[in-house]
Chain A
Amino acid sequence: NAGVMQNPRHLVRRRGQEARLRCSPMKGHSHVYWYRQLPEEGLKFMVYLQKENIIDESGMPKERFSAEFPKEGPSILRIQQVVRGDSAAYFCASSPNTGGKTEAFFGQGTRLTVV
């Protein structure tokens, strides 16, 4: 059973471009979470999705950021018109169910660098 797969592992974008980060959850997991870790800081929750639904996006910046988890395919975190402050490691986690009773498994992250 493959773990949570994120790609690309490293992404370089120029200011103003779009960044698309992909996350394939573990097999059988229908809950996906995205977290961001700025340099030298802790992880911050961004968004929680189930298939085709955004459940909690309280940690997402209001502009330029969006996330989806379609019925088929990976979850996508999309950042439009990137700025230098978006440079960070973005981690995806998945779990088989919610309710705070089960652990979440994390991917190895996508390191976004905006130049």
Chain B
Amino acid sequence: DAKTTQPTSMDCAEGRAANLPCNHSTISGNEYVYWYRQIHSQGPQYIIHGLKNNETNEMASLIITEDRKSSTLILPHATLRDTAVYYCIVGESNTGKLIFGQGTTLQVKP
């Protein structure tokens, strides 16, 4: 079973920041938090991952709480092409396999 819980769906206005929350209260000390997204029926696309520090790349920022029990993915300026299902995943530290939950369907609206 997935070790994360996410809201089923969210809306965001185009050009605004999209903040996607994720709870992972049972995360272990050596497990990473990963975010992927799946646009329509394409292959999942890696977005970002982190262990305990906040992370930023060209796509997004990842904010991890100090107790590591939750995190937030931030898309700073959402576009219509960011409409997708976003998956927050706690990666298994020994195998790297990903256990996908149901994710959050983000709808970016004009």
Q: Residues of A at under 8 Å CB distance from B?
A: 4, 31, 33, 35, 42-45, 48, 55-56, 89, 91, 93, 95, 97-109, 111
Contacts and interface: CB of A to CB of B under 8 A. Distances in A.
Contacts, number: 70
Interface string B49-83: 10000000000000000000000000000000000
Interface of A is mostly: strand
Contacts of A48: 95-97
B44 interface: yes
A104 B46 contact: yes
Contact of B44 (A56, A98, A106): A106
Given A31-B96, A56-B97, A42 B43 contact: no
B99 to A, nearest CB: 6
Nearest to A97: B96
A45 B46 contact: no
Contact of A91 (B34, B44, B46, B96): B44
A102 B96 CA distance: 8
A42 B96 contact: no
B94 A98 contact: yes
Nearest to B34: A103
14 contacts: A33-B96, A42-B101, A42-B102, A42-B103, A48-B97, A56-B95, A89-B41, A93-B44, A93-B98, A98-B96, A99-B96, A100-B92, A102-B96, A106-B46
Contacts of A106: 36, 43-46
Contact of A107 (B43, B93, B96, B97): B43
A106 B45 CA distance: 7
Contacts of B92: 100
A108 B43 contact: yes
Contacts of A108: 42-43
A107 B41 CA distance: 12
B30 interface: yes
A109 B43 contact: yes
B43 A100 contact: no
The 4 A-B residue pairs whose C-beta atoms are closest, nearest first, are: A106-B43, A100-B91, A100-B93, A98-B96
